[in-house]
Each structure stands twice: as C-alpha cells, then as structure tokens.
Amino acid sequence: MKLVYDGQCPMCQQYIRVQRIRRDLGELELIDARDNSAARDELTRLGIDLDEGFALKIGERWYHGSEALHRLSVMSTRSGLVNRAMASLFASPERSARFYPPLKAGRNALLRLLGRAPIHNLRK
C-alpha cells in the first residue's frame, strides 16, 4: 500500500502521524506528493490531482480524496481516541464524501495562509 500526501501541509502531517494501519494489512509506504516519485508520475498520468486530495494505492487500484480517507479509516486500528474517532466518522463512504470538501477547503486555506504553493502535479 502507498499513501501520497502533501508533506508541507500541517493537517496532512498530523493525520499521518496519528493514523495507525492494522499490521495484518501490511506496510503503508508514505510518499510526499511534493517529491518526484514514480507514484506521483503515475497519478499525474491517471489525471489524479494531488491538490484535490491525497491518494491511496491498495494493490493496483488508486483511491483519491474522500475514498482514500474512507479506506484508511476502515483499515485503521482502534487504538487511541483520534483513531477511534476518525474510524467512526469516516466509516461510511457517504459521510466521508460529505465531510471531505470542508476538510480540503481548510487545508487549502491553511496552505495559503502559510504561503505554501500548490503541488501542481498535473502541470509540467
């Protein structure tokens, strides 16, 4: 499994820090979307815009945005208050889809406030 996220986003960094994937599911490779990588190139070819959300690869399939958030929540352990809350809040794909846009808007506003440029993985 691979997770491509914005390494310059404090919200994303905090989410990654507290997220705990069940060990029986395997290792989760973390990839900073701002670094050149094969995963970022693949996402660009697929038309997945990392400024619109992080991406999770399970097997050969990519999940993006709210779908990725939902999948991570389902795969997480229930250890710790934050993981239990996230797992509960985003256990439903519909709820994830409803809550993801405000989270993304908050992320984008925070990045603008901090003076951080967009990822622009789709633009060469």
- The pair of structure tokens assigned to 105 is 């808007």
Beta 29-32 vs 2-5: how paired, if at all? parallel
Query: What pLDDT, on a 0 to 100 scale, did the predictor assign at position 14?
Result: 83
Residue 58 pairs in a beta bridge with 61
Per-residue pLDDT of the chain in tens (124 residues, 90 and over written 9): 899 999 999 988 888 776 766 555 678 889 999 999 999 999 999 999 999 999 999 999 999 999 999 998 888 766 777 777 777 788 889 999 999 999 999 999 999 999 999 998 766 5
The per-residue pLDDT for 91 is 85
Asked whether the beta carbons of 21 and 87 are under 8 A apart, the reply is no
For residue 97, the model assigns a pLDDT of 94
The pLDDT of residue 70 is 92
**How much is the pTM?**
0.86
SS3 content of the chain, % helix, strand, coil (to 5): 50, 15, 35
pLDDT of residue 115: 93
